[in-house]
Amino acid sequence: MNKKTIWITGGSTGIGKALAIKFANEGWNVAISARRENLLREISDNHENINSFPLDVTNKDKCKEVFNNIKSQFENIDICFFSTGTWNPKKEKDIDVEQIEDVFKVNFFGTLNSIKSVEKYFKEKKSGTITIVSSIAGYRGLPNSTGYGPSKSALNNLAESLYFDFKRSNVRICLVSPGFIKTPMTDKNDFKMPFLKTTDYAAEKIYDGLINKKVFEIHFPKSLTLILKILSFLPSKIYFGLIGKMTKYQKND
User: In this structure, what CATH number is given to the domain that contains residue 26?
Assistant: 3.40.50.720
Q: Are 209 and 176 in contact (CB under 8 A)?
A: yes
Q: Answer whether the bond into residue 178 is a cis peptide, omega within 30°.
A: no
Is residue 253 situated within a structural domain?
no
Q: What is the per-residue pLDDT for 184?
A: 72
Is residue 147 situated within a structural domain?
yes
Q: Are 18 and 181 in contact (CB under 8 A)?
A: no
Q: What is the per-residue pLDDT for 253?
A: 33
Is residue 252 situated within a structural domain?
no
Q: What is the pLDDT of residues 143-162, one digit of tens each?
A: 888 999 999 999 999 999 99
Distance between CA atoms of 202 and 14, rounded to whole angstroms?
9
pLDDT band, residue 250 (cuts 50/70/90): very low
The total number of structural domains in the chain stands at: 1
Distance between CA atoms of 132 and 218, rounded to whole angstroms?
10
Q: What is the pLDDT of residues 183-223, one digit of tens each?
A: 877 767 766 777 889 999 999 999 999 999 989 999 999 99
Q: Where in the sequence is the domain holding 174, given as residue range(s)?
A: 5-247
Is residue 176 situated within a structural domain?
yes
Buried b / exposed e across 35-49, counting CB within 10 Å, b at 16+? beeebbeebbeebeb
